[in-house]
Amino acid sequence: MGRMTSPFDYTAVTPDSAREAVAAAEERATAIIETVVAVPAAEQTFANTVLPLDEVRATLALASGRYGFLSNVAPDDALRDEAHEIDRRIATYTTSIAFRDDLFAALTDYAAQPEVATLGPIERRYLDHVLRDFRRNGFAVGAAARARVQALKERLVTLGVDFRRNIDEADEALWLEREDLVGLPASYIERLQQRQFDDATGSGTRYRVSLAYPELYPFMDFAEREDLRRELFTLNQNKAAEVNLPLLEEAIATRDEIATTLGYVSWAHYAIETRMAQTPETAVEFLRDLEARVRAKADLDIAALTASKRTHTGDPDARLEIWDWRYYQQRVLRERYEVDSFAVAEYFPLDATLDGMFAVYQRLVGARFVEVPEPRAWHPDVRLFDVEDDAIGAHLGAFYLDLHPRPDKYGHAAAFTLRPGRELPDGTYETGISAMVTNFTKPGPGTPSLLRHSEVVTLFHEFGHILHQVMTRAPYARFAGTSVQRDFVEAPSQMLQHWVWDAEVLAGFTHHVTTGAPLPADLLARMIAAKHVASGLHYLRQLFFARLDLAYHGEGRTKDTDAIARELHAITGFPFVEGTHFQAGFGHLFGYDAGYYGYLWSQVYGDDMAARFAEGRAVEGGAGDEVVGRRYRETILEAGGTRDGADLLRDFLGREPGMEPFLREIGL
């Protein structure tokens, strides 16, 4: 059975205890490395030369998950400040390991040992990847160049920490009066922060609309006032611009210097070398081909939304603007398909949706999720669950859910590995622990949290990452869970999003917040019929983000990020809004740098993986999901990064992957 106890006590963490624990972790890692480099060449084995590096990785990953992770979620300012410093410290220390001449020499000596020829495929993959890391850090160039690369990589750590922190701590908002909020339901307005005013303009109540997702997106979707939609859009597009634009430009130049010092044409060539695409040219070709396919659908979308705007405004010459498209998408959904996203949300109370999602995933992968009564987490809102094998009750892992926004918290949605799974020397398995961090509306007194369907998609997607992280059985931390090629990592989660459109699945857990009635079949049918409203515009925006990222990391040291954004913005189908700097708040430019294309690249595979479940139902009938789900668990979740993404796909699919399910899914 599962432990039913908290694996960590986050409530006891202080800035001092965190600092001391991380220092101890670094000392332990250093001691392990010193032991490795002291082994005489004649006595080297995988066990004493390569395997200890995984212990180093696990030690640092645990320190990051226990303490550095708190930079994203700690409500206490002092602890969050210390956690940001810990993030920087661990990343810098980790970078330094891969520049140690003595460690490289030890591994090079071991690579020449006869034992290497007898290694299993995962062990050989580990050795090859470690040697590849050293080559990519400059061990094929001179010592002076390598030292420069190390300094540049350490600088990138600081730039990344600061860039992300500036985004998380951005606090811009509009203060509006009640009449400014026409179009938004009372349930939304009541949750906004309020303050009383009495000044020269009069007296009354003002409402704060921030850039937090539960406030931003409903406002852009439903607020009648176009001028205010434009104002909030512009505010969001300039998030952290003043502080982050210089950091981004320095990061781009730093990456380029690293790449060219190592003999690569650009950072994109350097970064994509280890991914499925292998070259930026392949990635750009994929994006251009997809854009050509999507463009016709996007033109139809613009025509339909423009017609809605002209009817709504009474202006026969009205032009659809970029701050309009979400609003008129919602109008088309209501008027043509009778789908109101706030009305749909009434069928998705958060707790019931969680239970329903758990039921889906438990059935698919043969597991049970059991809530731990005292999570001892970083915030009272956080919940903790143990994961158990449904057949034998064995403990498989654990995950935290931190679902609601609060000041200075990570502002998007993500799954964080807090402890990677791995096999211990005694043969037991140290299970993975992860955390899902999102920003869904928080329930209030008598007002439950209701999820719009798009938020249900996000919930299912991020929980797909959680499953990938905690159900891994990869023997080494390096290959645990989502430690796969970056342009494959989204595929399992994108595959699992398909269940939020399944009538049988939804009928099992949706219920109206007041009446208790399940989601009506005719409403779901209308939702499915409306699924591709403005899908072309959605994918053009994703293509713009991906092309922008690759352009920033293409050949050349100095980039005018505004000029590049302006030039490529035509991809979206809308004119560029002068005076905006979207890139300053584009957090994926650190972590997914030269890799954002991977979201679309991996969706091709995720949609084909979902099609494999449909094939299983055709063959196995009602048991199809469980049969294919077991295969998915074994070949994808448990394998982690022990094989390349293309091999994992072929193993799961039992065939070569295809693009047809993806094209159907995006409305083509």
| Residues with a known catalytic role | 462
Which residue, among 608, 600, 607, 602, has the nearest Cα to 541 in the 3D structure? 600
Tell me the H-state helices in 314-452. Answer: 325-337, 341-345, 350-365
What value does the CA radius of gyration of the chain take, rounded to a whole number of Å? 25
Give the HSE-up count for residue 39: Cα atoms under 13 Å, Cβ half-sphere.
22
3-state SS, residue 595: coil
- Distance (Å, whole) CA 276 – CA 258: 22
Which residue, among 81, 80, 6, has the nearest Cα to 377 in the 3D structure? 6
Contacts 24+ apart (CB under 8 A), 481-485: 481/417, 481/420, 481/421, 481/432, 481/434, 481/640, 482/415, 482/417, 482/640, 483/420, 483/640, 483/641, 484/640, 484/641, 484/645, 484/648, 485/274, 485/275, 485/276, 485/641, 485/644, 485/645
Task: Report CA-CA distances (Å) from 201 to 173, 194, 197.
Answer: 20, 17, 9
Question: Nearest-5° angle of CA 90, CA 273, CA 607?
Answer: 95
3-state SS string over 442-501? CCECCECCECCHHHHHHHHHHHHHHHHHHCCCCCCHHHCCCCCCCCCCCHHHHHHHHHHH
Give the HSE-up count for residue 388: Cα atoms under 13 Å, Cβ half-sphere.
16
Query: 594: which DSSP letter?
Result: T
3-state SS, residue 275: coil
3-state SS, residue 660: helix
User: What tokens were used for 329?
Assistant: 């998408």
Answer whether 379's CB lies under 8 Å from 73's CB. Answer: yes
Task: Tell me the residue type at 460.
Answer: F
Which residue, among 612, 607, 639, has the nearest Cα to 624 in the 3D structure? 612
Answer whether 97's CB lies under 8 Å from 104's CB. Answer: no
